[in-house]
Amino acid sequence: MIWEDDNRAMAQAAMLVLLMLALCTAAASAAIVEHTFKVGGTNINQLCMNSVIYTANQELPGPTIEISEGDTLVIHAVNESPYPLSLHWHGVYQLRSGWNDGANKITQCPIQPYGGKFTYQFNVTGQEGTLWWHAHSSLLRATIYGALIIKPRKGPSGYPFPAPYEEIPILLGEWWNRNVDDVEHDGYLTGLGPQVSDAITINGMTGDQNSCKGSSMYEVEVEYGKTYLLRIINAAVNVELFFKVAGHTFTVVAADASYTKPYDTDVIVIAPGQTVDALMNTTAPAGRYYMAAHIFDSKTVSIPFDRSTATGVVKYKGVPDYAPAAMPALPRHDDVVTAGKFYWSLTGLARPTDPVVPTTVDHNMVVSFGLDQAPCAPDQTKCRGFALVAAMNRNTFQFPDKVSLLEALYKGVPGVYSEDFPDFPPPVPGFRKATAVKKVNYNDVVEVVLQSEEYSRALGTENHPIHLHGFDFFLLAQGLGRFNPAMKSRYNLVDPQVRNTVAVPAGGWAVIRFTANNPGMWFMHCHLDAHLPLGLAMVFEVLNGPAPNLLPPPRVDYPKCRR
C-alpha cells in the first residue's frame, strides 16, 4: 500500500466532510455540460519553428472536458479548418446515441470545412475515469485532442481508493514539423504511410530537445507528502510509449476508465488510445524531477522511429526553478519484457457491483490481422516498389463515401456495406477490398481472438492497439505466437482487465469478450492511425433490441456526405 495509516485517517476525515457536502449540494441530479469547440488554425512555436496547426479553441492539447457520471454532454462543433472532420469521444459507450460517436464515415459523414457545424449530444452513464476525445479523420488527431474526465457522481468519495489531493492530466502526444494532413497525404503517395514524427510531447510540449534548446516544457508544482492522481492518456498518433517520473513510483488504479486492482510500478506503458490512472505520492526529497516519455518500439524488424524523449518537470513547492532536475532512466526502446509485464499484469477491480464476465458466448470469432506489401497504385506517384496494405480476416476495410454506415443501416440504404465479415480467417491468400460488417443481435455476447499475423517477412510484426467503439471489453487472456483452443484454460473470467483498447502483442494474440448491448455501427480498428487508411479495421453491426433498446433518429443537423 502506498498510503500510510495516518494519511488514511486524514483521508477518511476529509471524505466524511466531502460526503456531507455532497449530500447538501444534492449531487444526485445529473447536469448538462455544454462546450463549443471551434476547430481552426493556430500559430505555434514548437521545436524552434513557427507553424500553423489546427486545434480546438486555439489550445494544444484541446480543452479538458470534465463531467460527473450520468451527466449529459453537449458539444457544439464548428469546423473552421480547411479539412472535413469529425470528433470522436474515445471510450464513451454512446448507449443508444450512436449518431454522436464521431467515427468518420462509420457513424457520420464529416463536418464540412470552412464553417460546417454539428452538435454532439449524449449521456455519459455507467462509466467513470479517464477518457479522451480526438478528431477522427486524416492525421488531424495529432493536434485536435483533449481529455474527457468522468468523475464519480458522489464526488471524490466515490473513488475506490483514498481521494487524491489533486489530479494531474498528462496527455502524451506526437509532433510533426509539418502540416499533418500533408504528412498523411504524402504517406499515401509513397505507399509507406506517414513519416516518423519529430518529437513526443507532454501536454503539448516537447520539453528540452537537442534540436532546439529552450523549447517549452510542461511543469507542475506539487506539495510534499500528498497523493496525486495522474490521468495519463496516450494521444500519440502511431506510437506506444514508456512514461516515468524520476524519484517517484506509481500505483495504477484504472485503465481506459475502468478501475483496476492497485498495481505498483515505476514505469507506465501505454498504447495509442489507452489511458492509465496512477496515484503518485510526493514523498521524495524536495526538489525538481523530470517526467519523461519515449517510444516503446515493438517492431520485429528494424524500421526507423522517433528516438526523441519528451520531458516535463515535477517541482516541489518552494524549490527554486534553477534547481537541477533528476532524469528518470526510461526502459530501452525495445524493452518488450517491461512492456509485456505492465500490459499483462493489470487486473480488473471487480467489485460486487461491477459487470461480470458473461459466460455463454453467441459468436466465437478469430480475427487475424497484419500488414502486407502490395503493388503501387497508379495515383501513388511517389511509390517505389511496393505500397503497404492491411486487413482483418483478409478484408481490407474500405470507407463508404456516399453515406455513413449508420445512416445506411438506419435508412436501409442498399449497396453500402456487406454483412459477410468472416468469423474466421479465410484459408485463401490475398486480401479483398470490402466494407464488410459482422452482424449481431442486440445483447449477443461476442468473443474475439485477435491474432496478429506476419504476412510479410520484410515487414515483420508489431504490437497493434486494437480499439473497439461503443463497448468496453473484458480482456480474458493474451499470449505470444499462435492462439489455440487449449489456451482457453488461461482465460481470466474472474477479474480480467476491462478496456476499450488492447495492445495485441507482436505476432501474438489477445482474447476479448463483450456484450453487444448497444444498437448501431461500431468500428473496431487499429489505433495506430497509420494503419486505418491501410484497411486495418472492421465494423460490428448491432441490431435494435426490444424497446427501448432502439437507435433513435439522427439529429436534424446530422452532416451529409459530399465528395
Residues at the interface with ligand C2O (CB under 6 A): 88, 90, 103, 134, 136, 273, 467, 469, 523, 525, 527
Cβ distance 4 to 12 under 8 Å? no
**Closer residue to ligand C2O in complex, CB, 237/403:** 237
CA distance 438 to 423: 8
**Closer residue to ligand C2O in complex, CB, 292/409:** 409
Residue nearest to ligand C2O (CB): 90
- Cell 512492456 maps to which residue? 339
Cβ distance 275 to 232 under 8 Å? yes
Report in angstroms how near the CB of residue 90 gets to ligand C2O at its nearest: 4
SS (H, E, C) 327-343: CCCCCCCCCHHHHHHHH
Torsion over CA: 313, 315, 321, 325 (sign): negative
Report in angstroms how near the CB of residue 536 gets to ligand C2O at its nearest: 11
**Closer residue to ligand C2O in complex, CB, 274/309:** 274
Name which of 75, 58, 33 is nearest 144 in CA terms: 58
Report in angstroms how near the CB of residue 10 gets to ligand C2O at its nearest: 38
Give the β-pairing of 218-222 and 310-316.
Answer: parallel
Report in angstroms how near the CB of residue 467 gets to ligand C2O at its nearest: 5
Beta strands in 12-99 (DSSP E): 32-46, 49-56, 65-68, 72-79, 87-90
Residue 28 DSSP SS3? coil
Residue 207 DSSP SS3? coil
CA distance 209 to 215: 7
Report in angstroms how near the CB of residue 240 gets to ligand C2O at its nearest: 14
**Closer residue to ligand C2O in complex, CB, 83/523:** 523
Q: Which three cell numbers stand for residue 84?
A: 472535413
Report in angstroms how near the CB of residue 109 gets to ligand C2O at its nearest: 16
Query: Which strands, in side-by-side order, build the sheet including 395-397?
Result: 432-434, 395-397, 387-392, 363-374, 445-452, 509-515, 473-479, 497-499
**Closer residue to ligand C2O in complex, CB, 483/523:** 523
Report in angstroms how near the CB of residue 131 gets to ligand C2O at its nearest: 9
- Cell 471487480 maps to which residue? 350
**Closer residue to ligand C2O in complex, CB, 394/525:** 525
The most distant pair of C-alpha atoms in the chain lies apart, rounded to whole Å, by 70
**Closer residue to ligand C2O in complex, CB, 148/477:** 148
- Cell 516541489 maps to which residue? 316
Residues whose CB falls within 8 Å of the CB of residue 485, separated by 6 or more in sequence, listed in order: none
Cβ distance 42 to 60 under 8 Å? yes
For 230-245, letters b (16+ CB in 10 Å) and e give bbbbbbbbbbbbbbbb
CA distance 124 to 136: 20
Name which of 162, 161, 133, 163 is nearest 149 in CA terms: 133
Report in angstroms how near the CB of residue 438 gets to ligand C2O at its nearest: 16
Report in angstroms how near the CB of residue 88 gets to ligand C2O at its nearest: 5
Report in angstroms how near the CB of residue 36 gets to ligand C2O at its nearest: 22
Cβ distance 429 to 435 under 8 Å? no
Residues whose CB falls within 8 Å of the CB of residue 16, separated by 6 or more in sequence, listed in order: none
**Closer residue to ligand C2O in complex, CB, 273/535:** 273
Report in angstroms how near the CB of residue 50 gets to ligand C2O at its nearest: 29
CA distance 267 to 242: 7
**Closer residue to ligand C2O in complex, CB, 273/545:** 273
**Closer residue to ligand C2O in complex, CB, 88/244:** 88
Report in angstroms how near the CB of residue 468 gets to ligand C2O at its nearest: 9
Report in angstroms how near the CB of residue 399 gets to ligand C2O at its nearest: 12
Element (H, E) at 514: strand 509-515
**Closer residue to ligand C2O in complex, CB, 294/525:** 525
Q: Which residues pair with 129 in a beta bridge?
A: 150
Name which of 137, 138, 237 is nearest 181 in CA terms: 138
Element (H, E) at 9: helix 5-24
504 alpha carbon, distance to own chain's centre: 14
Residue 531 DSSP SS3? helix
**Closer residue to ligand C2O in complex, CB, 248/469:** 469
Report in angstroms how near the CB of residue 141 gets to ligand C2O at its nearest: 8
**Closer residue to ligand C2O in complex, CB, 394/467:** 467
**Closer residue to ligand C2O in complex, CB, 134/153:** 134
